Every structure is written in C-alpha cells, then in structure tokens.
Structure 1
C-alpha cells in the first residue's frame, strides 16, 4: 500500500515526518498520554496490514519508512507483526491495546512482549485504545503526512483534503470509500479495513483498480454513464472477482472527467441517502482532483477560498469581487443556515472542540453540496454556516414553501450531526439574502437566533421567522437593562418583596399574564390549587396598583417582571415553549 503510483511520490520519499509529530497529530484519537515505545524515525507512508500478510513482499518501496497499522492483530500476533515490520524497514507500527482488564506489563498498556519486539526491531510502537476505529487512524495519519510534507490536502485538522472527504463520506454512507483519478489510480480511501472485500484490498494495495474489474466496468458501460452526467451508478456484487456491491459517481470539471468516487457495501447495507451523499462529495472533490492533476498548491488555494468565503459571510470584503472569484452570481440570492454543536465531545479541551467542528463542517459540506450546487460552508464565531445559493429558476411557490422544504432538509442534517458527533447540535434557518451583499446581515440574525435557541436544547431546528418574537423581547429587555431610568417601580418592588419574604407573587403574576389568565394551566404548572393562584394574582394587583384590563399595564408589567426576575427564569420566559 505504498504511494509509488501517486504523483509527487519521489519528493515525499526524500522527506519524511518524525514519528513523534504523527503521534501529536493523533493525540485526540490515541487519548491522553498515548502509549508509545521504541525508537523514533521518519514516516513516509501509511500501510494497512493484517497478520497473514507477507510484509516483506509488498510492491514498490514495501514497508520502508512506513507506519504500519496492524489491523486485526491480537495476542501473540502483535509482537510477531512488530518484528516482521521492523525487519522490513518500517518506521513505526500501530497496534490495538488490550482491554484494561487484560493488560500485561506496564508502559501505558503496551504488552511486555510487544515492547521487547519494538526494542529488538528498532521500530516505534503506538498503542491504539479499544473502540478507536482504524479508518479514523488511517485518515488522520495520512492527512498528517500530507500537511507536514506539503502534499495535496490541507492537513489533519481541516476538512478539505481528499482523505478527510473520503472519511466523511464513509461515515455518512456506512460504506468503504475510494476516490480514484481518471486513470483509475486510488488517491484517497477510508472505511473499516476489516470489512474490505478482495477487490478493495487489491485496489488499495496496488493503488489502482485491477484490470479484470475495469474490463467488467467497460462491458457494463459504467464509465460511459459516469462521463455523461452526475448519475450515481449501482454496480452489482461480482463474487467471481471478490467484489461486493458498490455505488459510484463521476467527478468532473465542466465536461472534463477528473475521476470517480466509489462506495463499497460493508458489513451493513449502505445508508438510504448514500446516493445523495455521493453527489455532494463529487462536487466537493472536483477542485482537489484538479490540484492532483496540476500539482498545484491545494492548501494555499483552499485556505484562500475559505478566507474569501469567510469574508463574504462576515462582510469584510466586497461581495461583487468575492462572487467573481468564487464563481457565484453577485445578484443571486442565498439561504443561510447557522449550526452550533453545543460543546465539544472531547472532554480534553479546546483542541477537541476545534477538531469536532472540523469534522462537523465536513459533514455539513457534503450535505450542503448534495442539496445545492455551489454551496459554501464556513466556520465563524465558533459555529458553522452554510450559504446555499438559490436555484437559478426556483420552482413555483412561496418562500414559505421553500422554507418548509429547507427546514425538513435541515432537520435531517441536524439528526445526522447529533448521531455522528454525539453533540446536542442545533440549527437555525437564518433566512434568505436577496443579494450576496445581504449575507452578513442574515448571518448576524442566525448568530443571535442560535444564542436564543440554546435555551431550549430539546428543539433541534428553528427558523428566524419563528424566533422573531422572542428575539424582539430579548432585545427589548437588553435595551431596558441599559436604561435604568425606564422602569415600572411598583412591579419592581413586588420582585424585591418576594425575595425578602420568600413569596412567589411576581412569578405567579408573570405566568398568569403569559397564559392569558388561564388559571387552571398556570396552577398546574406551579403545582398549586387554582384558588391559591387567584389569591396571589389579587395580592399582586393590590400591591402594585395594576389594572389588568389595561393592555399597556399588562405589557409593562410583563416586561418589568422579565427584567427583574432571576436570569434562569428570565431565560425560560423569554423564549416560546417548544
């Protein structure tokens, strides 16, 4: 599984990446204080191997300078693979650590026999904790090499390189993903290695699709169909070739074919939305494959595009000039979606939060590209924003109809984010910008609405239209908070009296006003008898001089009560119940 078939391979072989640098890049996957033993060295390539593979017979450069991922090795097989990899010239071997109750020896969980083999073979050993998937280790390690060696891609902590894209598609489809160029060479892949069929093993090992399968694809007309459009083609299982069923779609720039993306079915059927995810991934893969062919500096181009997109979102640059550079019509409208993960999954700190947002941004990118062509996904203010250009010829119907469709799509996206990231992700449809120059204002609406939506974590998705009344109330309270001369003193005194005497007149009055005087509903919420609530309201009216028949009295009292009640109650009452 070396990189001999890839452009730029010779340059990478001249300059490797220190093992300890790779370990740092894998730190969030290997856990705090990752198990590590043996001498260091430089890593040039990532190789996935199993216990029964002859490690000294791989093509090209074999294991020279490789980080070997010992997939499937257990018990005595681990030490044997470490010895064999070291003898073949590997720089490091990643092995699965035993479960905590079965660990032998010390040194952070690496068994004594494995540590001894590492020292004898002069090879570094990295311990992979139980539960961490090998495909994530492989994708992150390859991205680390690309980042350190200046290869195509934008590094392990960004979502733009082909390996990260392949990993995102594998996660979303539940399959094993390969990205090939137009010469059928494998340039990126991801997915659980233990579910790979024989065809995938041969393709990844040799970095190209075997000729018998290519001949079959020509007979079936698969390549012709891929060139003719954005069709997702189903290729049935071929037992005689060791191939399970697959989905494939072409990647192109204009009329020029650039390559293809394949998804092999693994242990479980592919996700129902796998074809849509493939279409989105094909749109995202095109610029990367252009860089692959022309050996351009993809990192510089992608970072520039990201910065320009961020400028479009925040209004730092002229929208017309940015639109020309990004290939978007400046007079076109766009829907803006704001997403917040609501905190990192990784409890170790901010680094985990950034990595989690990068992973989520990749998921949003694939979904957005599948939903709308030329969609932009940008991270800003600790959140993720998707700018979805409106179709050139929108279908008949009102904006409300279009918003309802987009709301359903957003609901599916948030469900996916919650499932795959383990966070309480929420999203707000911030609205439609009629021109690209209006996007920053719509983005600010989304940011404010997300802050409000955080008060009801059980609500996954909302629209700015739905939140407008609550936002108006919150902004009004903020203005009143900054203007201490504007008050309803009698109602303010009621709140103070409650705090001094331990009564609950103010909150009872506020809930009574919010419920349009529905005594039964409010009494049930307060867990009191209806007569008790009636007494509290009469007492509050007597102490404040309120005229409940006067709408201005009711509005002023409700604002003052929201302003003066403690922050938690104010947050609850300033937002409509789900």
Structure 2
C-alpha cells in the first residue's frame, strides 16, 4: 500500500471536513459535551480559533472556539456564546471553574450551541494542537491497521511505504519509535540511536535537525561521515513542532518517491504523535501524584518511593526549577514550562539513568539520587547542564535549585522546602536586578545548591520569626525608618553604611558619596535623635540583624509588586 491509499482511508479526508463528533473522538482529552444533540454532533468543523475578547470579532463559521481565561457567568462568556451561536460556530471549549454542569447545559441549550468542558488542569496548548490535528480528518481508533499513537507500528508502516528504515524523534532528540522490518539496511548511527533511544547530538545544536525544521516539506540530508544519507520530515500540528521522521536512504532511485510519500503522510504523522503524547499523559499524572506524595506526605512517602522504584539507601535530594517569566498564566508560559519538564526528564535520564520529575503548579520538581562520593558536585552539574540548554526553551532565565540531601525518605519534604526557599531567593534577586536595570540582553540561568545561599536563607527565617513574634515592633529600626519617611532624611542608609564599614568614616563617606565631616555629623545626629549607643556590641548586632532581615523581606515584596505590575 502506498501513501496515497494510506491517506485516503481517513474518515472525512475526501471532503476535507469532519464532524464535531469526529473531533471529540480523536481528541480524547476528557472533554465533557454538556448538550450532545444529534445536530451538534453532526456539525461540520473547518478550523480552530483561540478566542480573546479584546480582539476584533472574526469569522467563526464551522470553527471550534477555545475560550481561554473566560469563566461562566461573566459578561465575556455571555457575549461569546451569543456571538458564536449567531455565527454558526461548531462548538465552544471552556473550563468549568466551579460552574455546575446543569448551569452550563442550560446556557448552551438557550444559545443552541455545542459547549465542551475541558478538565481544570488541561493544557490549552495541547488542546489547540489536538483540535487542529483532528480537523485534518482523524476520527477513528486506528488508521490503516495502525493504532493511533503506536509510533513503533507507525514507523514500520512508514518504512514499508518508503522502503527505508524509519525513526521518529521528538524535539529534544528522544527516539519515540523506530521500524523493525527485516532486510532494510541500517548504519552505525541508526544502530546507536535506537539502542540509546536518544540522538547523540541534541537537535538544538545539530545542523541537520535545524535544516529539517526550517524546511517546508521533506528533504534529503546527505551523509557527512561513513554511513548513508537520510530523508527527513519535520512533523507539526497546529503550528507546533512535534518532532521529525528520519528515513535511511532507500537508494536505487527510490529517494524522490520516498520524499513525496513522506510529504503526503505529514498530517498522519502529526495525528499519531499527538495521540501518543496524549496517551502518555496518564503516566505523567500518576508520576506527578507519586512525587507529590513523596515530597509532601511523609506518612506515605515510603509507598510512593517503592512505586517509583527509588533507591533510598544513599539518600535523595529534591530539585526545584522554573522559568522567571513576568507572567505565569499565558499560553507561552505553559508551553515553556512543559518543554522545561521534558528537558529535565531528558538530562536526568542521561545523568542518572532514570528520571523522577513532575510539574506541580508552576514549579518542576525532580528527585535526584546521590550516587558516588560527591553527590553534590553531580547535582550541581545536572542543573548546570539543564541551564546550558534552557535558552532553547525560553528567552527568560531558568532558575534551578537543589535542596539538601535527605538521608531518609521521610526527610524529603525538608529537602523540597530548602529547594523552594532557594528558588524564591534567586527569583527575588533576579527580579530586583532586572528592575534596577543591571541585567540586560541575553537571559542568564541561575542555578544553585541550597548550601550556596544558606546564610541569607537562614537570615530570612530569622526575619520571619522576628515579625511573627512581634520582636521588631517599635524598635530603633522602625523609628529610624519612620523618621526618614516623615522628614526626608537618610539615617537608615547612614546606619547601614556604618555597620557595613565597621564604623570606618572614610569608607562610609565613599559609599555615601559625601564628605567625611558630613558622615561624622550624621552619625552624631542619629545617635542623639534616637539615643543610639553604637559602642554597644549587642546593640550593633541587633541593628545589623534587623536591617539585613528587613532588606531581604523588602526584596521579596518588591518582586511580588513587579510581577503584578507586569
């Protein structure tokens, strides 16, 4: 069977249009149809649209509309359903966000419009890609005898059609499937990558991969070493790069026919790869639940460790990673954090021969084993390597930290807490530096172990204790800051400079950019106004502790304000 007949077996391929029921069946994204009438299910679908209430209204005829960020009962929601119904839209996909199904069914029936409800934790980016791929015509459980998502069987089908050994590779270089047909020649590169299930060079740094990704269709890649050339195709769905297919040159004048076959199979490849990724979501959710139990629930941590197959005899450490974006709810941020999760998984697999990582909220957690005699050096090297590749994911900086080693599985929550504290500290530092304009140009990843910043992190704990116990209420620091605000004086900066310089007048004058006599006058006035005995070592210790801890807490508040403003 050739690619032409292979493609012709897709339901709806002849007409180029599919029904809403076809799309729902293919997407398999736990969508709930609140009003599945025969008329709604038979509605033809031509395209998918991301809806933004601030944009001008556009043509939505026969389109599935994804209502990102719109909630039931809002004016935007009511306006969208009214417009969509009057413009012959195929359906609207929303998230319930607390609304009852009966409420959604009622408003859908009132507008005579199909409304589909996505799970609260559904990835909008993936839903868009799935919906657009479904419009290509896939609506059955199998295509030409190949179960959707079975990339090994699909690779065999591709190899049979093109007469060349086939491999399917994701954007991070992982081999997702390869053909096993007998008699097809392979070279050493093919043998090595299929054994390791990983490309030897990451696609982001490989010229051949870059050429394939930039091409509009399948192309021939000549060999530059002992081996044979390749035929390759970038696989996309809805504009998203899913990976690539690589065929060992079939030779004997078959290359051109194979290239044409690859081009014709491009939509089918996208369907299979999307379906495979969707099928893996269950495993990712289970993995996430087990890791959440491992780092949050000491009572059941041993069970979770056993389910994950973790070796706890040498200890474990929790890593926390995120991307320092000014906003966290955009589609771009969702896409980037998912790509970071795949990067963490890949690097961990290479370094530890296993990976235990999951996305919880906006933070990726990874559980690192502690092999050898210098586990901390290995932990640092792993997060540094992730940081080295992070520029391929986002223009914003990666922040990555590793908590201390937990000698018992029950101690992992403490390692997670330490990793989070260090992560927040580095996020604060990055935000303050950017706000001050001291960071420009290319984003630089910030990676660290907990012990790298143990002193400021411990000072922040002391600061929280002082605040919670009310130990700093109405003390000298509060009085000085209040006086500065009321009288526009600089006593707080003068005191900070005094403590930093250990009372050295010349050093103080240089840091404050004033004359030595001005410094002496300010110190004398400050001591008189606030009755400060700066010769008392305990007094100096308390003042320095209060200044340092409040400065650190102020940085945290500044970052929160900066994030809200952006």
What range describes the TM-score normalised by the shorter chain of this pair?
0.5 to 0.7
CA distance, structure 1, for counterparts of residue 5 and residue 510 of structure 2: 73
Alignment of 1:200-215 (within 5 A): 215=184
Q: Which residue of 2 aligns with 1:16?
A: 22
Alignment of 1:121-132 (within 5 A): none
Matched, 1:483 2:469: yes
Contact 1:199–1:242 under 8 Å retained in 2: no
Cα distance, 1:340 vs structure 2: 2.4
CA distance, structure 2, for counterparts of residue 481 and residue 466 of structure 1: 25
CA distance, structure 1, for counterparts of residue 387 and residue 512 of structure 2: 34
Kindly provide the CA deviation profile for residues 177-212 of structure 1, in whole angstroms up to 9, marking residues without a partner as x: xx952784379xxxxxxxxx99899999xx998999
Q: Indicate which of 276, 282, 287 corresponds to 1:300.
A: 282
Contact 2:499–2:544 under 8 Å retained in 1: yes
Task: Specify the SS of the correspondent of 1:335.
Answer: strand
Cα distance, 1:263 vs structure 2: 6.9
CA distance, structure 1, for counterparts of residue 537 and residue 460 of structure 2: 20
Task: Specify the SS of the correspondent of 1:16.
Answer: helix
Matched, 1:181 2:152: yes
Alignment of 1:158-557 (within 5 A): 181=152, 184-185=155-156, 215-217=184-186, 220=187, 237-238=222-223, 243=230, 298-315=280-297, 318-343=300-325, 349-350=329-330, 352-391=332-371, 394=372, 396=373, 399=374, 402-457=375-430, 460-484=446-470, 489-517=475-503, 519-557=505-543
Contact 1:180–1:186 under 8 Å retained in 2: no
**Counterparts in 2 of 1:186 and 1:423: CA distance versus 1, 3 Å:** farther
The normalised TM-score by structure 2 is 0.54
Contact 2:348–2:382 under 8 Å retained in 1: no
CA distance, structure 1, for counterparts of residue 4 and residue 126 of structure 2: 19
Cα distance, 1:493 vs structure 2: 2.6
**Counterparts in 2 of 1:238 and 1:324: CA distance versus 1, 3 Å:** same
**Counterparts in 2 of 1:476 and 1:544: CA distance versus 1, 3 Å:** same
**Counterparts in 2 of 1:487 and 1:142: CA distance versus 1, 3 Å:** same
**Counterparts in 2 of 1:200 and 1:226: CA distance versus 1, 3 Å:** closer
Cα distance, 1:556 vs structure 2: 0.8
**Counterparts in 2 of 1:540 and 1:297: CA distance versus 1, 3 Å:** same
Kindly provide the CA deviation profile for residues 322-363 of structure 1, in whole angstroms up to 9, marking residues without a partner as x: 1222222343522321112223668xx455543432232222
Contact 1:335–1:432 under 8 Å retained in 2: yes
Task: Specify the SS of the correspondent of 2:401.
Answer: strand
Contact 2:291–2:356 under 8 Å retained in 1: yes
CA distance, structure 1, for counterparts of residue 366 and residue 296 of structure 2: 13
Cα distance, 1:509 vs structure 2: 0.6
Q: Unmatched 5+ residue regions in structure 2?
A: 25-43, 65-89, 91-124, 143-147, 170-175, 202-207, 209-220, 234-242, 249-271, 434-444, 559-566
**Counterparts in 2 of 1:32 and 1:527: CA distance versus 1, 3 Å:** farther
CA distance, structure 2, for counterparts of residue 564 and residue 208 of structure 1: 55
Contact 2:460–2:553 under 8 Å retained in 1: no
Kindly provide the CA deviation profile for residues 91-115 of structure 1, in whole angstroms up to 9, marking residues without a partner as x: 9xxxxxxxxxxxxxxxxxxxxxxxx
Q: Unmatched 5+ residue regions in structure 1?
A: 42-90, 92-134, 153-161, 164-178, 188-196, 247-259, 266-287, 573-578
Task: Specify the SS of the correspondent of 2:404.
Answer: strand
Cα distance, 1:476 vs structure 2: 1.5
Contact 1:488–1:556 under 8 Å retained in 2: no
**Equivalent residues, number:** 392
Give RMSD over aligned pairs: 5.6
Contact 2:477–2:543 under 8 Å retained in 1: yes
Kindly provide the CA deviation profile for residues 110-130 of structure 1, in whole angstroms up to 9, marking residues without a partner as x: xxxxxxxxxxxxxxxxxxxxx
**Counterparts in 2 of 1:500 and 1:569: CA distance versus 1, 3 Å:** farther
Task: Specify the SS of the correspondent of 2:542.
Answer: helix
Kindly provide the CA deviation profile for residues 219-274 of structure 1, in whole angstroms up to 9, marking residues without a partner as x: x456665676678669993499762799xxxxxxxxxxxxx997799xxxxxxxxx
Task: Specify the SS of the correspondent of 2:483.
Answer: helix
CA distance, structure 1, for counterparts of residue 410 and residue 247 of structure 2: 43
CA distance, structure 1, for counterparts of residue 229 and residue 500 of structure 2: 67
CA distance, structure 2, for counterparts of residue 479 and residue 472 of structure 1: 11
CA distance, structure 1, for counterparts of residue 165 and residue 312 of structure 2: 44
**Counterparts in 2 of 1:231 and 1:382: CA distance versus 1, 3 Å:** closer
Task: Specify the SS of the correspondent of 1:431.
Answer: coil
CA distance, structure 2, for counterparts of residue 237 and residue 456 of structure 1: 48
**Counterparts in 2 of 1:208 and 1:480: CA distance versus 1, 3 Å:** closer
